[in-house]
């Protein structure tokens, strides 16, 4: 018997990284999963792997995302789990952010979470409730230089989580996860540009390694399962202890910025 037997889950940003790993784990634990992503081919590939459905949407498009989640609810017969996971990142000094890029980061990382709630909550309430988990970040709990809009948006996700838990309990439990340094398409370019940093992350993480998407997926599955039945309104940091030493990405921006100046 799986932890999520009979559950119907929507995963945004499900075509790669943490979203892909979580969609797989949810399916392994018995859930039917709808994969939502801008990447149509990637979403279809994951959906085929797990026997789910694929839906193409931009999480910043209110009606586009609503239509995709409506279609997912129709395909599965209900929605009982939502994993708001889609996200993007970039770095710059605060006064040098192009307003358009600032808006893009906040729109995907924060507004996209709100729009996920907007689209999925009516279906979840009609189904009798469920669980919502959103991807925040250690950048929202221990920000570093160079990531102001990303950090602000991710801090906003944690605050939105708390507000939503108050609004929707006891029917819907609402939590967020804050990944540390996880090897994904978002972080690989940094580690490739600064290969010596891999050793530093391993050395300064008490558990001795860089995280993998599966490390986050397992925590999300736990939060969506009945094992977490008395957990709501929480932001769970999953970083191997990295931020016990300070910001998870301390010093990276300075090195990248210096390289750009050379």
Active centre residues (catalytic): 150
Using DSSP, state whether 81 is helix, strand or coil.
Answer: strand
Q: Spell 157-189 as b/e; 16+ CB within 10 A means b.
A: bbebbbebbeebeeebbbbbbbbbbbbbebbee
Q: Where are the alpha helices (DSSP H) in the chain?
A: 17-28, 40-50, 62-76, 99-106, 112-126, 138-141, 148-168, 188-193, 196-204, 213-224, 252-261
Residue 229: other Cβ atoms inside 10 A: 9
In this structure, what token pair is assigned to residue 59? 């999480």
- The rounded distance, in Å, linking the Cα atoms of 207 and 198 is 14
- Name the nearest CA neighbour of 84 among 47, 32, 120: 120
Are the C-beta atoms of residues 217 and 24 closer than 8 Å to each other?
yes
Phi-psi region of 234 (alpha: psi -120 to 50; beta: other; left: phi over 0): beta
Pairing of strands 172-179, 130-135: parallel
Residue 258: other Cβ atoms inside 10 A: 9
In this structure, what token pair is assigned to residue 180? 């540390």
């Amino acid at each position: 018997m799986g932890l999520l037997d009979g559950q119907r889950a929507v995963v945004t940003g499900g075509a790669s990284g943490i979203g892909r790993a979580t969609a797989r784990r949810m399916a392994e634990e018995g859930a039917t999963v709808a994969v939502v992503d801008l990447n149509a081919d990637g979403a279809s590939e994951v959906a085929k792997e797990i026997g789910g459905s694929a839906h193409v949407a931009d999480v910043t498009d209110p009606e586009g995302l609503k239509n995709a989640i409506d279609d997912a609810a129709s395909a599965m017969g209900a929605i009982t789990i939502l994993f708001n996971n889609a996200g993007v990142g970039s770095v710059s000094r605060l006064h040098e952010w192009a307003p358009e890029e600032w808006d893009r980061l906040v729109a995907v990382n924060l507004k996209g979470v709100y729009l996920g709630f907007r689209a999925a909550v009516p279906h979840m309430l009609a189904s009798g409730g469920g669980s919502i988990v959103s991807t925040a970040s250690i950048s929202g709990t221990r920000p570093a230089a160079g990531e102001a809009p990303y950090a602000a948006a991710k801090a906003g996700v944690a605050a939105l989580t708390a507000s939503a838990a108050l609004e929707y309990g006891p029917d819907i439990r609402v939590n967020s996860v804050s990944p540390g340094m996880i090897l994904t398409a978002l972080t690989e370019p940094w580690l490739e540009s600064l290969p010596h940093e891999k050793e530093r992350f391993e050395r300064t993480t008490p558990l001795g390694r860089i995280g993998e998407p599966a490390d986050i997926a397992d925590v999300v599955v736990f939060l969506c399962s009945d094992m977490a039945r008395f957990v709501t309104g929480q932001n769970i940091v999953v970083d191997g202890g990295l931020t016990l030493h300070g910001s998870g990405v301390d010093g990276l921006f300075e090195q990248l910025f210096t390289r750009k100046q050379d």
